[in-house]
Amino acid sequence: MVDIVADYLSGLPQRAVFQPYPAEQARALATEPIPTGGAPVDAVLKDFVERVAPYPFGNGHPRFYAWVNSPPHPLGVFAEALAAAMNPSVAGGNHAAVHIEHQVVRWFADLAGFGDESMGLLTSGGSMATLTALTVARHRAARRADIDVRADGLQGHARRFLLYLGTEGHGSARKAAELLGIGSANVRTIASNDGHRLRPDALRDQIVRDRANGHIPVAVMASAGTVNTGAIDPLDAIADVCAEHGVWLHVDGSYGAPAVLLLDEHRATKTALARVDSLAMDPHKWLYAPVDAGLVLVRDRHLARDAFSLVPPYLRTDDDPDGVSGPVWFSEYGFDQTRPFRALKVWLLLKHLGTTGYRDLIAHDIATANRLASGVRAAPDLQLLANGLSVVCFRCRPVDCAGDDQALDELNREVLNAVQLGGRAFLAGTTVNGAFALRACVVNPGSSAADADAVLAEVRATLSRLGGGQPR
Ligand SMILES: Cc1ncc(COP(=O)(O)O)c(C=O)c1O
């Protein structure tokens, strides 16, 4: 298996970035019956090598710039095996994995300015981190309104619970609003400024109006690095608004938090993090840990426990932190009971790279994205639409473009589709100010300036192949 892993990782750059899974193989998988007799390990692994390994979604390849999908650091790959070998449940207990997770959480809490009264845990990802944080926010808002949300849910009272989100805020917050009974119709979308950053003045106006109408503002979710454009919201000004009105401030740093916490140019944002109530970040994004690893920090540990703890007597624990049950259990601060040893890969990577090593890798990714952005600026048939952190959004805009916006969108969709299927580069699509855009997000230190140039060359070659570059 070590050889298979090594071949896979070292062979990635020579392969197509992406190729769709062959239809006949997909049909074969869909109809293959459950194995009854079993097979030798070698035969099973051969099947993996032939039918699984050749068809990744592209991440890890140096010219894959889609979504926020980093390659795993090799140490993280093998950390997964070590964690699986131990296979503890990190619900709680006085065993190594629990203490390692506490240490990892404390390291990030220290970096982000969350004090000793804070609590955190590793989650399956940014969506679960945000759901966890907003559960605590809802608990606080309900308690202040004399509603026992754990007993009654949100039933039986007329007031509306509201969540505030920037136009660029991640969709996971809307999903969380639905799951928490707030409802997506009660998510207020707050306008952004020209830089795609949430406008604190618009937020303030909306909260004032809502409170005057008797509604209950549960939380504001701001972003430290939006998925679309890499924009960082003005956290300090937003924290002022939240403090004025006693509203919980959650920051989604799923993508951008590592850059904010480690790079000097984001020091002001980092300082503002010391004022927020909760933070989501994803080691499986810009800290190169294999999926899955999210992290949530909550400033008020007591509130977090009140929102989640449901402990049957046989599991109640904090009588003796040095005994069998150890420190207060993670399962009292989140939804999951049995929890994997996610912390090991994050811990090993932090110990191996240190914050300095991480800073260099993240700075490298940003430099590669900047190279891409300059290439876009210099190309007469490309137009830069947004550039924040390591995200670059652009579109093809042929010289003397005669087409309308719709035709331009259509042309860019065609280019993107052809690039994705071409196997030489991979970008994602999005919209920026209503225009369809090609979106690159560089979270791969193995990607070089030459790769960035090659990706742009591929886009431009595809554009000229498709109808001479003019929108139809
Ligand atoms: C800014 C942002 N927030 C939240 C998420 C959701 O994180 P996850 O996919 O780990 O649940 C993402 C995922 O790309 C993201 O980029």
pLDDT of residue 325: 85
Kindly give the pairing relationship between strand 428-432 and strand 391-396: unpaired
Atom of ligand 1 nearest to the CA of 67: 14
What residues contact 60, with CB distance under 8 A and at least 6 apart? Answer: 9, 12, 71, 72, 444, 446
Distance 252 CA to ligand 1 centre (A): 8
pLDDT of residue 321: 77
Atom of ligand 1 nearest to the CA of 292: 10
Distance 51 CA to ligand 1 centre (A): 29
Atom of ligand 1 nearest to the CA of 294: 10
Distance 77 CA to ligand 1 centre (A): 21
pLDDT of residue 318: 64
What is the per-residue pLDDT across 180-196, written as a single tens digit (0 to 9) for each?
999 999 999 999 999 99
What is the per-residue pLDDT across 301-330, written as a single tens digit (0 to 9) for each?
999 999 999 976 666 666 677 888 888 899
Ligand 1 mutation target, pool 175, 221, 282, most atoms within 8 A of CB: 282
Intervals of the chain under pLDDT 50: 471-472
Q: Which residues line ligand 1 (CB under 6 A)?
A: 68, 125-127, 170, 172, 226-227, 252, 254-255, 282, 294
Domains of the chain: 1-20+55-71+354-472 (3.90.1150.170), 88-340 (3.40.640.10)
Atom of ligand 1 nearest to the CA of 170: 3
Name the closest-CA residue to atom 5, ligand 1.
126
Atom of ligand 1 nearest to the CA of 128: 11
How buried is 194 (Cβ within 10 angstroms: 0-12 exposed, 13-18 middle, 19+ buried)?
Answer: exposed
pLDDT of residue 469: 52
Distance 283 CA to ligand 1 centre (A): 11
* Cα distances (Å, whole numbers) of residue 144 to 138, 181, 206, 428: 10, 17, 20, 43
What is the per-residue pLDDT across 202-243, written as a single tens digit (0 to 9) for each?
999 999 999 999 999 999 999 999 999 999 999 999 999 999
Distance 99 CA to ligand 1 centre (A): 27
pLDDT of residue 417: 98
pLDDT of residue 472: 45
Average pLDDT, the chain: 95
pLDDT of residue 317: 61
